[in-house]
Structure 1
Amino acid sequence: MDKQKSLRLIEALSNANGVSGFENEVTSIFSKAVQDFGKVSEDHMRNVIVERGGNSGNKPVVQVDAHSDEVGFMVQAIKPNGTLRFVTIGGWSAITIPAQKVRVRNRDGEYIPAVITSTPPHFMTVEDRKKLPQVADMSIDVGATSAEEVMNDFKIDIGAPVVPDVAFDYLKDKDLLMGKAFDNRIGTACLVDTLQELNGQALDVDVVASLSAQEEVGDRGAQITVRRIKPDLSIVLEGPPADDTVVENYMIQTGMRRGPMLRDYDRSIIVNPGFQAYCLNLAKQKGIKAQRAVRTGGGNDGAAINLYQGTPTVVIGIPVRYAHTPYCYVAFEDYVSALNLVTEILKSLDADRINKF
């Protein structure tokens, strides 16, 4: 792996605008990055499939998936005073939304800087300051003073996508990544590097990569990609929420600098126990840090893939502190561990092993 090249890729993906349904910038970056590693195709939903160069067509098929979209917002209405009412796309906690800088796409495709409104404390009562904010009471302000100015000058329409306005930063001394949309641009970058690491290598399986759209609104893209690929086995690369700053020590299952998380269970999937055990044992044998998690919430593309003929599926997640907020952290060492693990898994698989799962 070329670390500097990987960092540049992660930066480009993190900075890209790509709320669910509007992933074009992300798919363009991804498709260009993988064009030398196989046959690349994209559908009208913005799903991208890469059939790895060297696939034979007569070996078991392993789908390696990541999703391209990020959580964000959409303009629902334009108020007479020129502010924009909006809805959330994907899961948000309302308390993290006010006073954040965002970008609103206009009809020319330009992203306009804006801010999510908040009431100055000067105009709040003591009781107001104790209340949790509600999304329905918030607006987006692009600096206009009328609805006509929004529509005619700013060229913003109802249905416009909105993303957090955050620039990627690499904290070299700590080898930390900071930025937006690491759920799941960090998995997207790892998918690219996986294809890079395996390029030219002989495998006993055929690998097909999928960059699936609209995961944050119900795993919609993965429901399409799995039917096109028809995998015998699948690995889902994710950017799950880290828990090491929010739970008791004994409950930490997705801690930063502890390696990738392999999820046993969430509300959408129970992973194949045999495949899960195999991956964890392989990590131990290769000296790769890894951790496992049992979740009461959450979901991922693995659910849609697993439901296709019961395809054995595992989820390999790179811990993301403060996922589904504008500002996130990822430790680069966790990224490397995830990359090493997924490539070792793919190099070790053959028909006999897969049949045992």
Structure 2
Amino acid sequence: MDDKQLLMLKELTDARGIPGNEKEVRDVFVKYAKNSTSSITYDGLGSVIASHEGNKSGPKVLFASHLDEVGFMVTAITDKGFIKFQTLGGWWSQVMLAQQVQLTTSTGKVLHGVIGCKPPHVLTAEVRNKAYDIQEMFIDIGATSKEEVSSWGVKPGDMVTPYIEFKRLNESKFLLAKAWDNRIGTAVTLSVLENLVRDGHPNKAFAVGNVQEEVGLRGAKTSTYLVDPDIAFALDTGTAGDTPGMTEKEADSKLGKGPQIIIYDASMVAHKALRDFVVGVAEELKIPFQYTVIAGGGTDAGSQHVTRNGVPSLAITVATRYLHSHTSVIHEDDYLNTVALMTEVIKRLDSNAVEKITFG
């Protein structure tokens, strides 16, 4: 992976963007997309659409990631200056306590804090031995009163995001950051767009950054409706099953073994012909891949495939450890192979291929 790609990954993961507050991430998307195309539009919710016309009479192919990350929203300030919050997206309480966060005010000021709770020394054995209630947690930003917090510009509705430093794990190919879900999908989207513009393609390509995926696949509804594509892909993250204690029944994907092709998840059944087309390309080009089932979650393809009168759709994901936490880990080869696969797939989606997938 070259320095340019590493810088893009760092900028995307460093950017702060919870559901409904994705501007920082969208700005990074636009920064890189405008180098590949001058046609950038938006839907009414804030999803960004970068398009490139390879063949004006070709089919419309949409490939989308989501911009938002799981995070928090300020709901109240206590008299002693602590922050109460609402989770946005799925959080597991065990991964939250004592973790650092950043609070971004409406004026863009960034404050540092930590998620706290009562110390274990004062808890009963019953409470200590079960998951701590998120409703009992708070954020400490070093203030001593409600008035002091207000003077710093903090208000209900402000964004709170996890904080961690982007880094390569030692000298390996494993990359650590916050928000790989779904900044790695966003990086794939941007890299595929760049490749298509450079190499040419037989269709009208739409690279999309969706908003509000983590709270119900919402941005994908509006952006897909606006584009009205013939084929749609969701580029996201999937569960890794290669850590101690995991069983193949729970998750069988491994980092470094290629992109995940989602054949079933809680939001959709993969379109059979489109799935077979993608698998055929991967096998022909000897790009490694993994079949995956995600019974307890979904991707933006869940909204894409039921837009208007229906769109053949497929989710392709990058296996990720420690999803929905402050510290997630991916393998750089999976990113590169996902980019390679998606680039070649879209380059082959001409009118004949799309007609065969849709009606054949």
- TM exceeding 0.5: yes
Q: Which residue of 1 aligns with 2:239?
A: 241
Q: Which residue of 2 aligns with 1:288?
A: 287
Q: Give me the whole-angstrom Cα distance separating, in 2, the residues matched to 1:241 and 1:111.
A: 31
Q: Which residue of 1 aligns with 2:48?
A: 48
**TM-score relative to the length of structure 2:** 0.94
Q: Which residue of 1 aligns with 2:160?
A: 162
Q: Give me the whole-angstrom Cα distance separating, in 1, the residues matched to 2:209 and 2:65.
A: 5
Q: Which residue of 2 aligns with 1:192?
A: 190
SS at match of 2:142: coil
Q: Give me the whole-angstrom Cα distance separating, in 2, the residues matched to 1:15 and 1:88.
A: 20
What letter is aligned with 2:354?
Answer: I
Q: Which residue of 1 aligns with 2:263?
A: 264
Q: Which residue of 2 aligns with 1:4?
A: 3
Residue 239 of structure 2 contacts residue 251 of structure 2 at CA under 8 Å; is this kept in 1? no
Quickly say closer, same or farther: Cα 1:224–1:326, change in 2 above 3 A: same
Deviation (angstroms), 1:3: 2.1
What letter is aligned with 1:339?
Answer: V
Show the 5 A alignment for 1:1-357. 3-38=2-37, 39-52=39-52, 54-152=53-151, 154-171=152-169, 173-245=171-243, 247-249=246-248, 252-308=251-307, 309-357=309-357
Q: Give me the whole-angstrom Cα distance separating, in 2, the residues matched to 1:251 and 1:157.
A: 41
SS at match of 2:168: strand
Q: Give me the whole-angstrom Cα distance separating, in 2, the residues matched to 1:202 and 1:30.
A: 21
Q: Give me the whole-angstrom Cα distance separating, in 2, the residues matched to 1:133 and 1:121.
A: 10
Residue 253 of structure 1 contacts residue 261 of structure 1 at CA under 8 Å; is this kept in 2? no
Residue 234 of structure 1 contacts residue 305 of structure 1 at CA under 8 Å; is this kept in 2? yes
Percent identity for Structure 1 against Structure 2 = 32
Deviation (angstroms), 1:175: 1.5
Quickly say closer, same or farther: Cα 1:172–1:94, change in 2 above 3 A: closer
Quickly say closer, same or farther: Cα 1:55–1:204, change in 2 above 3 A: closer
Deviation (angstroms), 1:284: 1.2
Deviation (angstroms), 1:201: 2.6
Q: Give me the whole-angstrom Cα distance separating, in 1, the residues matched to 2:157 and 2:82.
A: 14
Q: Give me the whole-angstrom Cα distance separating, in 1, the residues matched to 2:297 and 2:27.
A: 28
Residue 103 of structure 2 contacts residue 161 of structure 2 at CA under 8 Å; is this kept in 1? yes
Q: Give me the whole-angstrom Cα distance separating, in 2, the residues matched to 1:227 and 1:189.
A: 23
Structure 1 residues not aligned, in runs of 5+: none
Residue 41 of structure 2 contacts residue 48 of structure 2 at CA under 8 Å; is this kept in 1? yes
Deviation (angstroms), 1:87: 0.9
Residue 241 of structure 2 contacts residue 248 of structure 2 at CA under 8 Å; is this kept in 1? no
Quickly say closer, same or farther: Cα 1:177–1:128, change in 2 above 3 A: same
What letter is aligned with 2:337?
Answer: S
SS at match of 2:280: helix
SS at match of 2:171: helix
**TM-score relative to the length of structure 1:** 0.95
CA RMSD of aligned residues (A): 1.5
Q: Give me the whole-angstrom Cα distance separating, in 1, the residues matched to 2:251 and 2:208.
A: 30
SS at match of 2:347: helix
SS at match of 1:215: coil
Deviation (angstroms), 1:239: 1.6
Q: What count of residue pairs does the alignment treat as equivalent?
A: 354
